[in-house]
């Protein structure tokens, strides 16, 4: 059977168009202009690109966006002060602090300071706890985007064996909780897992979030599996991007796969827009 390439660009465009439509409706019916505040501290070049893309997406869907580009020397107290101000500002619905932060600032302290009602990244312990016990709250954007990729590609999740490689707080752990919510049977693997290829070969849906280029080869893949590749690894010599999956090697063995780039990557920003719209709806009490 032919392998299906899951098109993250097309699916993210569809999500953003839906957000755009609802954003316009929220403004027309309730006079609420959804607004995302983005904070960047320091001059990490990759972070600057991500922040620029987030601002562009805000423009596309019709959000107001507030941008704070703070110098590397910004103190933790100054950053916390800005977050307090944005938490208290009724015109702001989402607050995003781009990670990583400079070494003298403690990321956990910063994340904990963001109001859970405006935590569109889904990183606050309250958001993670809500996800864990199935209460409403914001879900980390990359795993939320993967659920959309699967659903909108017609991949059935309920009852399937799902193996997740990687247990980070941003991807692996929330991914496991979301797949569980969708009634998959979930296994989370990591660097200490014994015979990783054999565990991965159990998967109907294999999600690779390791951060090691081309690690997943056909030896890890069951015939007909769906493969989701979260990796973004830049080859320092060619500058080319590679996923955690050896795409050419596994292609004929799987039934569907996400490419890198153009798979999971574009979904993250689309889901950020979706979370921020949701924040604006909840905070304003609008019934759309």
Q: State the residues that interact with ligand GUN by CB under 6 A.
A: 96-99, 121, 141, 268
98 is catalytic: yes
Candidates 16, 22, 54, 173; catalytic one:
54
Q: What is the maximum span of the chain, computed from C-alpha positions, in angstroms?
A: 58
Q: Which of 7, 121, 229, 246 is catalytic?
A: 121
Cα-based torsion angle of the residue sequence 276, 282, 283, 288 in order, rounded to the nearest 10 degrees? 90
Q: At what angle do helices 8-30 and 265-284 cross, to 10 degrees?
A: 20
54 classed as catalytic: yes
Residue 54 CB, shortest distance to ligand GUN, in Å, is 9
Beta bridge partners of 229: 208
Annotation says 148 is catalytic: no
Of residues 99 and 180, the one with the C-beta less far from ligand GUN:
99
Q: Which is nearer to ligand GUN, 29 or 52 (CB)?
A: 52
Shorter beta-carbon distance to ligand GUN: residue 221 or 270: 270
Q: Which of 16, 22, 98, 160 is catalytic?
A: 98
Nearer to ligand GUN, 258 or 268 (CB): 268
Q: Which residue is nearest to ligand GUN (CB)?
A: 99
**Burial call 89-103: b when 16+ CB within 10 Å, e when fewer:** eeebbbbbbbeebbe
Q: How many CB atoms lie within 10 A of CB 195?
A: 9
In DSSP terms, 36 is beta-bridged to: 65, 94
Q: Provide, rounded to whole angstroms, the least separation between the CB of residue 71 and ligand GUN.
A: 18
Question: Which residues touch 49 (CB under 8 Å, ≥6 apart)?
Answer: none
Q: Among all residues, which ones are annotated catalytic?
A: 54, 98, 121
């Amino acid at each position: 059977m032919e392998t299906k390439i899951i098109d993250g660009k097309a699916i993210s465009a569809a999500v953003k168009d839906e957000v755009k439509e609802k954003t316009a409706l929220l403004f027309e019916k309730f006079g609420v202009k959804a607004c995302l505040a983005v904070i960047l501290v320091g001059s990490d070049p990759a972070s600057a690109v991500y922040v620029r893309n987030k601002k562009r997406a805000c423009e596309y869907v019709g959000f107001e966006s507030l941008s704070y580009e703070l110098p590397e020397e910004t103190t933790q107290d100054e950053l916390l002060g800005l977050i307090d101000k944005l938490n208290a500002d009724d015109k702001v619905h989402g607050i995003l602090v781009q990670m990583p932060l400079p070494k003298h600032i403690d990321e956990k302290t910063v994340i904990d300071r963001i109001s859970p009602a405006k935590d569109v990244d889904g990183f606050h312990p309250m958001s993670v706890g809500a996800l864990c016990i199935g209460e409403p709250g914001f879900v980390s954007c990359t795993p939320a985007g993967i659920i959309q990729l699967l659903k909108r590609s017609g991949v059935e999740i309920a009852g399937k064996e799902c193996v997740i490689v990687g247990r980070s707080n941003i991807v692996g752990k929330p991914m496991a909780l979301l797949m569980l919510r969708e009634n998959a049977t979930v296994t989370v693997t990591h660097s200490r897992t014994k015979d990783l290829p054999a565990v991965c070969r159990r998967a109907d849906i294999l999600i690779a979030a390791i951060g090691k280029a081309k690690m997943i080869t056909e030896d890890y893949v069951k015939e007909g599996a769906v493969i989701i590749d979260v990796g973004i690894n830049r080859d320092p010599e060619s500058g080319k991007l590679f996923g955690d999956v050896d795409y050419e090697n596994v292609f004929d063995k799987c039934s569907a796969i996400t490419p890198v780039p153009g798979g999971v990557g574009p979904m993250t920003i689309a889901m950020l827009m979706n979370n921020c719209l949701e924040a604006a709806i909840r905070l304003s009490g609008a019934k759309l």
